[in-house]
Amino acid sequence: SQQGEEDPQALSIQEGENATMNCSYKTSINNLQWYRQNSGRGLVHLILIRSNEREKHSGRLRVTLDTSKKSSSLLITASRAADTASYFCATDAATGGFKTIFGAGTRLFVKA
């Protein structure tokens, strides 16, 4: 089963535009992470936000976390064609074991 659900499932934008992806989850968490996956490759870690943090930045990435709504968003600013990939949120539950659970992902396509 997958804890997180990303929204939208797919997103197509022009180069230079911003891309926003959302993630909702079900149980209390210790932290939430975002990963990127290029087609046919492994996942690459982008950013981790802890449950007591509300916002975090890394380069062109901005992540927010709202634990009261059990949701997070990933904003990619000034997108580039090279940002084309699938993006997944992943959560480490506060209880119930050591799993890091991934959502179904958002497929982002950035048109040059």
Which residues bind to another protein, rule: CB under 8 A?
Answer: 1-2, 4, 30-31, 33, 35, 41-45, 48, 88, 90, 92, 97-105
Q: Which residues contact 19 (CB under 8 A, 6 or more apart)?
A: 11, 13, 75, 76, 79, 83, 108, 110
Residue with smaller CB distance to another protein, 74 or 88: 88
Burial classification of residue 91, based on how many CB atoms lie within 10 Å of its CB (0-12 exposed, 13-18 middle, 19 or more buried):
buried
Kindly report the number of other CB atoms within 10 A of residue 50's CB atom: 12
Q: Is 83 helix (H, G, I), strand (E, B) or coil?
A: helix
